[in-house]
Structure 1
Amino acid sequence: MSDQELLTEFLFAAEQGDTDAVKKCLAAGVDINATNRQGRTAITLASLNKHYDCVALLISAGADINKQDQTCFNPFLISCLNNDLTLLRLVLPAKPDLDRLTRFGGVGITPASEKGHVEIVRELLTHTDINVNHTNFVGWTPLLEAIVLNDGGAKQQEIVKLLLDHGANPHMTDKYGKSPLTLAREKGYHQIAELLVAAGA
């Protein structure tokens, strides 16, 4: 089998979650961090398809968990974007680079805060030292994203409270100088506004 055929088989096996085939390819000397046309490694393909046994196998075999594809996906960021707590808990012990950016310039907690992924946000704040005040390309912190880009409902209130309890700065404004409190009030999110006031906003 040529190197290219071996690689194709390896990436397909990871995408399908076929751990036996993945092991065979590794034993045959395939490059564990080689990518497909989208820049996706085997571990990224396995992560996207929720093949957790395969992800665990590739981590233990030494896969680069930080390598990002053309859309900036890697296993850690996939777990944050897709609300995949099982994947996150698999990846965290492998010490992922928490500073890797999504295509919008956020860190993992940014999209998780925006999308209402409460358990992901809690896991990140409790078990990592991810930068809770990171500002993305459009000038928004996770706290601002949690307020501006969602519905102000119970999940968002819980996320705002979690962020504030773990050091989110309630005074960091968007690029127009609007504070989280101003934005919460503009949107009529009274419970979130109360949380911000209680945190000293």
Structure 2
Amino acid sequence: MDRLVKPDVKEVDVVFKKGQNCTTTFRLSNLMHTMSVAVSLTTTTPSDFSFTQPFSIIPPLSSLSYTLVLSQSSDHPPLSDAITVKAAPLPTGKAQGDDLRRLFSRPGPHIFRDAIIPISLVGPQVAEYLLCNHTHVRDVCSYFEKSIRGCSKSQVTSLLRPAVLFGNTSLVSGLIDGGGDVNFKDSDGRSLISLAVRAGNIDVVKVLIGAGCVIDDSIDRVLHDAAAINRVDLMEVLCDRFRNIDVNSVDSCGRTPIHVAASSGYVEVMKFCVSIGGKVDVFDCNGCGPLHLAAEKGHLQAIKCLLDCSDYVKYAVNKEGKTAFSIAVENGHSNLYNLLHLGDVLHRAARVGDVNGIKSCLAEGANVNERDQNGWTALHRAAFKGRIESVKVLLNHGAQVDVVDDAGYTPLHCAVEAGHVQVALLLISHGAKANVKSLKSVVSFNVDCFKSHSSLVKPLCQVKERENQLSVC
């Protein structure tokens, strides 16, 4: 016979409760038909686990119940242990405790090692411990799978929240497989996906989506949460799964995801939002648009992005009557002045020929070569309007004479087209070229087109002749 006794379980589960002595029971059956069997029970760590009856006698073909006790020696559960069951035939059927102790202290062929029974700590407190220490416990998933055997469905569901927060996809999947409700809502009515997004764990988000977790767009501000941590990848996953998600939805402050991104200077997030229909001209409860928030924090690239989407938002005022420029001034972000205000003032002064205004703007830090939405610089505007004194000031302050606009036009082309001979001659004297190739087009001045401006024909021909000579060389 290979063994004398047989346990009724392959593994013993102990429900762990911190600060309490925890117990569980199991049974051993005597397989002998005519002889009693002596039994000895030990554990790997007797300081943690003990038995109310470590030695016993089981009559033939009978069974006995045994109680395993976990004595609390620390605040955390012992994760692994095992019961060793030893048995020996007892022909007399009787023996005292000391006799049994002596019997099992003398190893020999009369002693049978009948079973090794693993001990598993189960219950919500064990699961919580594993969640908190998942990075430090080897084979944590195996322990965790066992731990939730001692949890009710509501307890498994309540464990989903910390599992999502800690971002371990295996543990989250284990809880879902164990019966956890993926559509559990917190006290504010928010979904687990909201928590996963705020934690920034895209793999957990995908697991929850795959398990059927849904969101309420009026409560779950998942795009706001993703924008706040600069995660375009999360936004892409969310928009792909939830096709009706509203990129222009507002939070309790009236702010969209673009507001959130603008406040932190997250340009790629703003670009993504705009690409799926996000609006840059939504104003929050204080009347602030994304541009106001970007100006407050001094985010230059964010401001450039917003102005590329809508130039007029720079003129919007909040409830205090302040533009984005005013807010930038209040916060001392001088690098923003040109974009938000000085550039416009400079162009306006160049257009109307306000020489003092031009000088004032340039003195305050305006960029002399700043382009507007059409690629025009202040020199384009002054040349087109024939403001020769303005042209002189701009050239003396470093204006690029051959800069091209979005259509490939230079200031010289603007001056010639508008018939401003003296401005054209001034530009030519400062090195303006008659043929200018841009990235978008080639502007080639045809002398025949300027017959009405005969005084320009000769200088233009001279310029073209000189350029041809240089190209041959």
Relative to the length of structure 2, the TM-score reads: 0.36
**Alignment-derived partner of residue 278 in structure 2:** 130
SS where residue 106 of structure 1 aligns?
coil
1:161 aligns with one of 295, 299, 304: 304
Structure 1, unaligned runs of 5 or more: none
Alignment of 1:26-175 (within 5 A): 26-37=176-187, 39-66=189-216, 74-94=221-241, 95=243, 96-126=245-275, 128-147=276-295, 149-151=296-298, 156-167=299-310, 169-170=312-313, 171-175=315-319
In structure 2, what is the Cα distance between the partners aligned to 1:104 and 1:140? 10
| Mapped pair 1:16 → 2:163 | no
Task: Describe the shift of the 1:109–1:168 C-alpha distance in structure 2 as closer, same or farther (beyond 3 A).
Answer: farther
Q: 2:297 is paired with a residue of what secondary structure?
A: coil
TM-score (norm 1): 0.78
Equivalent residue letter for 2:247: L
For each residue in 1:170-191, what CA deviation from the matched residue of structure 2 results, as whole angstroms up to 9, or x when unmatched? 2322113333345445654323
User: What's 2:324 paired with?
Assistant: 180
Asked if 2 retains the 8 angstrom alpha-carbon contact of 1:104 and 1:136, the reply is yes
User: Retained in 2: the 8 A contact 1:66–1:97?
Assistant: no
Counterpart-to-counterpart distance in 2, 1:80 and 1:100:
13
Q: Which is helix-richer, 1 or 2?
A: 1
Q: Deviation per CA, 1:126-146, whole angstroms, max 9, x where unpaired?
A: 3x1012211111110111221
The whole-number CA distance in structure 2 between the counterparts of 1:98 and 1:168 is: 21
Taking a change above 3 Å as real, the CA distance of residues 27 and 161 of structure 1, as seen in their structure-2 partners, is same
Alpha-carbon distance in 2 for matches of 1:182, 1:9: 49
* Unmatched runs of 5 consecutive residues or more in structure 2: 1-150, 345-371, 375-473
The answer to whether the Cα contact below 8 Å between 1:65 and 1:74 also exists between their aligned partners in 2 is no
Q: Which has the higher contact order (CA 8 A, sep 6+)?
A: 1
Q: Is the 8 A contact 1:15 1:42 kept in 2?
A: no
What SS does structure 2 have at the residue aligned with 1:33? coil
* CA offset digits 1:82-116 (Å, max 9, x no partner): 22233223223223322332342201110210111
* Distance (whole Å) between structure 2 residues aligned to residue 92 and residue 121 of structure 1: 15
Q: Residue 22 of structure 1: CA displacement?
A: 2.6
User: Per the alignment, in what secondary structure is the counterpart of residue 226 of structure 2?
Assistant: helix
CA displacement 1:153-176 (0-9 Å, x = unmatched): xxx222122112223642322113
SS of equivalent residue, structure 1 residue 47: helix
Q: Which has the higher strand share?
A: 2
Q: Quick check: 2:232–2:269 contact (8 Å CA) kept in 1?
A: yes
Alignment-mate amino acid for residue 163 of structure 1: L
Q: Report the alpha carbon displacement of residue 39 of structure 1 after superposing the two structures with TM.
A: 4.5
Specify the structure having the higher radius of gyration (Cα): 2
Distance 1:32 1:38 in 2: 16
**CA RMSD in angstroms, aligned pairs only:** 2.8
CA distance in 2, matches of 1:66, 1:135: 23
Letter in 1 for 2:168: D
CA contact (8 A) 1:34 1:41 kept: yes
